[in-house]
Amino acid sequence: MNSGIAFRTIAVKEIHRFFRIWPQTLLPPAITTALYFLIFGKLIGGRIGSVGGASYIDYIVPGIILMSVISHSYSNVVSSFYSTKFQRHIEELLVAPVPNWVILGGYVTGGIVRGLAVGGVVALISLIFAPVSVHHAGICLSIVLLTATLFSLAGFINAVFAESFDDISIIPNFILTPLSYLGGVFFSVDMLSGHWQTIAMGNPILYMVNAFRYGMIGATDIDVALAFGITGGFVILLTLFSLYLLHKGVGIKN
């Protein structure tokens, strides 16, 4: 059994899937984020002044890029893998001698590529509104890859447990979006007072956004090494949990 061929088959199928429906997958984030940049960056941001030593629009660009990466890597895997279950073509993979890590790796790769593609589109849109600089390319690239991996894995786990299409929208709508908005995309954690600051520090997305912001403009509210530790730790944890679910056949086998 050549696992490399199986992995490539799943990954290419997944990437081809979202590129084929680009008006649904790549166009909407371009429009949404253009509006963010226009309204929050230009119109309102012009009156806010500087945050963390940068203009407000420069400050929010990294967060908006990473927020897009988070939501799209998650939604790619959760919708694709759930559809695979719902339409029962998961059976093609279960009948074949495809190792579990190949199934997981193939779907997560699709999620990562979608996250990076959307992140790239949003970064290009941001160039219209602000000069995008890169303070530390290595940090930018590694944190965006880790974040896309983490949320692709989270999307996979959501899809494994989902029993209806409602189940794949609950977490993005009621958990992921609030955590993203409260993850320091539009504000510095220093702006929060007392216990709100403590609560905000419990949001893992805050660490990823700040590490990415540090990579782009050199400004951060948190220790970047800690951000890598937390994100990497979650990636390992969710990978192991996903493999355990596949091994047990949770949600996909009787």
Partner 1 sequence: MNALSLRNLRKTYSNGFEALKGIDLDVEAGDFFALLGPNGAGKSTAIGIICSLVNASSGTVTVFGHDLRRERDKAKNCIGVVPQEINFNQFETVSSILLNQAGYYGVPRKLALQRSEKCLTQMELWDMRNTVSRRLSGGMKRRVMIARAMMHEPKLLILDEPTAGVDIEIRRSMWKLMREVNGQGTTIILTTHYLEEAESLCRNIAIIDQGRIVEHSDMKSLLARLNIDHFLLDLADPVAAAPVIEGVHIERASDRVLDVSVPKTFGLNQLFSRLSEQGIKVISLRNKSNRLEQLFLDLIDAKASGAAR
Binding region for partner 1 (CB under 8 A): 1-6, 8-10, 13, 84, 87-89, 91-98, 249, 253-254
Residues of 187-217 as b/e, b for ≥16 C-beta within 10 angstroms? bebeebeeeeeeebeebbbbbbbbbbbbbbb
Q: In whole angstroms, how close is the CB of 72 to partner 1 at the nearest point?
A: 20
Give CA–CA dist 143/138, Å, rounded: 8
Q: Would you say 160 and 245 are in contact if contact means Cβ atoms under 8 Å apart?
A: yes
Q: At what angle do helices 224-248 and 137-161 cross, to 10 degrees?
A: 30
Residue from 92, 103, 241, 80 nearest 162 by CA? 80
Give CA–CA dist 181/229, Å, rounded: 22
C-beta neighbour count of 5 within 10 angstroms: 9
| Tokens describing residue 19 | 């590129």
Q: In whole angstroms, how close is the CB of 241 to partner 1 at the nearest point?
A: 19
Q: In whole angstroms, how close is the CB of 118 to partner 1 at the nearest point?
A: 21
Q: Name residue 34's amino acid.
A: A
Closer CB to partner 1, residue 84 or residue 126? 84
Residue from 157, 139, 125 nearest 219 by CA? 139
Q: In whole angstroms, how close is the CB of 253 to partner 1 at the nearest point?
A: 6
Spatial neighbors of 215 by CB under 8 A, at least 6 apart, are 62, 134, 135, 136, 137, 138, 139, 140, 141, 143
Q: In whole angstroms, how close is the CB of 18 to partner 1 at the nearest point?
A: 13
Q: In whole angstroms, how close is the CB of 31 to partner 1 at the nearest point?
A: 25
Q: In whole angstroms, how close is the CB of 166 to partner 1 at the nearest point?
A: 22
- The H or E element that residue 210 is part of is helix 204-217
Closer CB to partner 1, residue 84 or residue 147? 84
Closer CB to partner 1, residue 173 or residue 254? 254
Closer CB to partner 1, residue 9 or residue 32? 9
